[in-house]
Structure 1
Amino acid sequence: MLKFVLLVNKQGQTRLSQYYEYVPVEERVTTEADIVRKCLSRNEESCSFMEYKNFKVVFRRYASLYFIVGVDNSENELSILEFIHNIVETFDRYFESVCELDIMFNIDRAHMMLDEMIVNGNIVETNKSRVLAPIAVLDKSNR
C-alpha cells in the first residue's frame, strides 16, 4: 500500500504531495524534509530504494523533479519504480513534455491524475487513456 507521493524539485521544494493515510502536519513537514534531504544527497549510481522508519521510500529523478513514493514493507520496489515511470508518462501525455512549471500551474490536474491512478493507497489504474479521459471531459467543458 502506498503511504504518500511527493514531487520535489532539485532545491528540495515540494511541488506536489498526496498522502493516503493520516499524518499530522508537523510530522509531515519533518518527515518530508528528512526524506527529501536523503534522496537529494544520493548520486546517480545509488540505489533508488531506501528504508525509512517503518516503511520504504522509492524515488526516481526525471529532469528537475524527484518523484518520491512511500510504501509499506510488503510492496515490491521495482513495481513502484515502474509505477513512477507510468505517472511521468501520463503527465507527459497530458502536458506534452511535463516540467516543474506545468505541475505548479496545473496542480489540480496533477492531483486529479493521481486520484484516478491511486485510491486509498492502492494502485487501481495504470492505463493512461483511462486516467486522462475524465480530465479531457473537463477540458472540453471549460472551452
Structure 2
Amino acid sequence: MTVKFVLLVNKQGQTRLAKYFTEHLTTDERRALEGEVVRKCLSRTDKQCSFFGLRQYQIVYRRYASLFFMLGVDEEENELAMLELIHCFVEVLDKHFGQVCELDIMNEPDT
C-alpha cells in the first residue's frame, strides 16, 4: 500500500490537515496539487465515483459530515481498499474524540 498524501478538507475547500509521505514536493507544488485535488473533489456529485486519476496519482475520497478525507495513492492501488482505510481512520478518530468534527482536527492536529 503506497499512500502518497492525506488531505482533510472542509466543504469550503479549506485544508484542515495535509500530510505527505515519500514525496519531495516544494511548498508551491504542494499548494498547487492540493488546489487541484480539492477543486476536483468538491465539484463532483454524490452520484459520481469516489476515486479518479489526477497526474500520477489515484485520488480516493469520502465525505463525512462537513469534512472530505482524501488520499493520493499509486495508480495500481486498490481504490475500494483505500475507501475502507478512510472509513477505519474516521472510526479511530471518532473513538478518540467521541464524534470527530472539524474543530477537533483544527485544535488538536498532533493527536
Q: CA deviation at 1:60?
A: 0.3
Residues 1:10 and 2:18 aligned together: no
User: How much identity, in percent, do the aligned residues show?
Assistant: 55
Q: Which protein shows a greater Rg?
A: 1
Higher relative helix content: 1
Gaps of 5+ in 1: 110-143
Q: CA deviation at 1:81?
A: 0.2
Gaps of 5+ in 2: none
Q: CA deviation at 1:25?
A: 0.7
Q: In the alignment, what sits opposite 1:29?
A: 31
Residues 1:77 and 2:79 aligned together: yes
**How far, CA to CA, are the matches of 2:101 and 2:57 in structure 1?**
29
Moved over 4 A (4+): none
Aligned residue identity for 1:26: D
Q: In the alignment, what sits opposite 1:43?
A: 45
- Greater RCO (CA < 8 Å, at least 6 residues apart): 2
Q: In the alignment, what sits opposite 1:135?
A: none
Q: What's the TM-score, normalizing by structure 1?
A: 0.75
Q: In the alignment, what sits opposite 1:19?
A: 20
Cα deviation code 1:83-142 (max 9, x no counterpart): 000000000000000000011111110xxxxxxxxxxxxxxxxxxxxxxxxxxxxxxxxx
| Aligned ranges 1:1-143 → 2 under 5 Å | 1-20=2-21, 21-109=23-111
Aligned residue identity for 2:88: N
* TM-align CA RMSD: 0.5
